[in-house]
Homo-oligomer: A and B are copies of this chain.
Amino acid sequence: MFLTLCQILLEEQHLRPREFDHDDVLRIAFDQFWRKGVRGTSLSDIARDAGVQRGSLYNAFGSKEALFLQAYERYAGDYLLGLQKALGTGSLRKRLTTFFELTIANFRSGSPPRGCPTTRGLMELGAAEGEGLDEEARQVFASLVSRITALVQDTLSAGARRGEFNGNPAVAALHIITVTRGLAVLERAYGDEAQLRKIAAHTIDLVLDKKGG
């Protein structure tokens, strides 16, 4: 995967070029994975959708899991960028509201809603060989969670400097992230978007130190 990235960056195509676009396939694959789950998507499906032979996918990406991970990393980068952009303005309450809105909108997108790819990926992690979870996949998912947590913490710290928040930004950010992960789970359980929004609003009230009703 890292090798492939280097090859792309350095344009080191000395010989026969690929007959399909690497990024197109990544997008198509992620869309399928997101709609039908990693488990429910076969490489044949992706190959058909992308107009590529199944063997070519193995040649280009290595395995189904490797393909998913690369597709996921592309998604994660885009998603984090969108969050950063949206969290740049307004009062702290406004920013947190936007954060929850974007989060919920993300895993309520599609019909039927596709859920949160990160949470789904994390919970599908299996024991690799004998002991321990699949480390590579775990790190990829955990990385996005960490970066979003840092983003929220920064937002809270800035709010604290402006007198809009008087708690511990690190702990509060962890709490908020935990709530968003929990919302991703409840979304699967009930599919009731109004309920999700209610919980989000209540969480903001708690964090900003107003009594929740």
Chain A positions near chain B (C-beta within 8 angstroms): 35-37, 39-40, 111-112, 115, 119-120, 122-127, 131-133, 138, 141-142, 145, 166-168, 171-172, 174-175, 177-186, 188-191, 195, 198-199, 202-203, 206-207, 209, 211-213
Contacts and interface: CB of A to CB of B under 8 A. Distances in A.
Contact of A207 (B138, B179, B185, B206): B206
Nearest to A191: B133
17 contacts: A36-B127, A111-B131, A112-B133, A133-B191, A138-B188, A142-B190, A167-B213, A171-B198, A171-B202, A174-B198, A175-B179, A175-B212, A177-B186, A178-B179, A178-B182, A178-B183, A179-B182
Contacts of A189: 122, 138, 141-142, 145
Which of A125, A199, A206 gathers most chain B CB within 10 Å? Answer: A206
Instruction: Give 9 nearest A-B pairs by CB, closest first.
Output: A182-B182, A178-B182, A181-B182, A181-B185, A123-B123, A142-B189, A37-B126, A122-B188, A40-B126
Given A112-B127, A120-B123, A122-B189, 16 more contacts: A37-B126, A39-B39, A40-B126, A119-B123, A122-B123, A122-B188, A123-B185, A123-B188, A133-B191, A141-B188, A166-B211, A168-B213, A175-B202, A175-B203, A179-B182, A185-B185
Contact of A181 (B39, B142, B181, B209): B181
A20 to B, nearest CB: 26
Contacts of A166: 211
A192 to B, nearest CB: 11
A152 to B, nearest CB: 13
Contacts of A174: 195, 198-199, 202
A41 to B, nearest CB: 9
